[in-house]
Amino acid sequence: MRTIDFSPLYRSVVGFDRLAQLLETASVDAASGYPPYNIERTDENAYRVEIAVAGFRADELNIEVKENLLTVQGRKTANDETAAQRRFLHRGLAERDFERRFQLADYVIVTEAKLADGLLSISLKRELPEALKPRRIEIATTSAGQSPLIEGEKAA
């Protein structure tokens, strides 16, 4: 397994430490493959994250957004009575707790979350504030031979 050392980056740049932390976090998260997920672009400013959460109920899942970080947690409730009654010959279904984190870009918000057929679908949308959206500026022109008036009346 390859690891990347970001310590030289911390020594040589100022103000980019958050970027290095994002790269470091992404490399650590990539190592864990459970649960599998898809990230899909559904529109120019819309996305969907689908996470395979077979065996989890809605009350065992938690979705939280804090400071541009989307965190999805799955915590199986311990049910000792059913586990004691069941005798597995082979146990291949991973019903373990998990935590998945996704770094969101600025102005990306979660619009809805659905759980169906073992897939948790989280819809995201980028909503730029009006101040950041491009806008067209009209250019005023004056007719030839006319000079623009600074004041409405001549000085006496």
CA dist., res. 57 & res. 52, Å (int) = 12
Domains of the chain as residue ranges with CATH? 1-31 (no CATH), 35-129 (2.60.40.790)
Q: 18-44 pLDDT, tens per residue?
A: 666 767 666 665 556 889 999 999 999
Alpha-carbon separation of residue 88 from 55, 91, 99, 146 (angstroms) = 16, 6, 26, 93
Expressed in angstroms, the distance from the first to the final Cα of the chain is 87
Q: 45-85 pLDDT, tens per residue?
A: 999 999 999 889 999 999 999 999 999 999 987 665 566 67
CA dist., res. 130 & res. 153, Å (int) = 40
- Amino acid residing at 118: G
Mean predicted confidence (pLDDT) in 145-156: 61
Q: pTM of this prediction?
A: 0.67
User: What mean pLDDT is reported for the chain?
Assistant: 82
pLDDT more than 70, % of the chain: 68
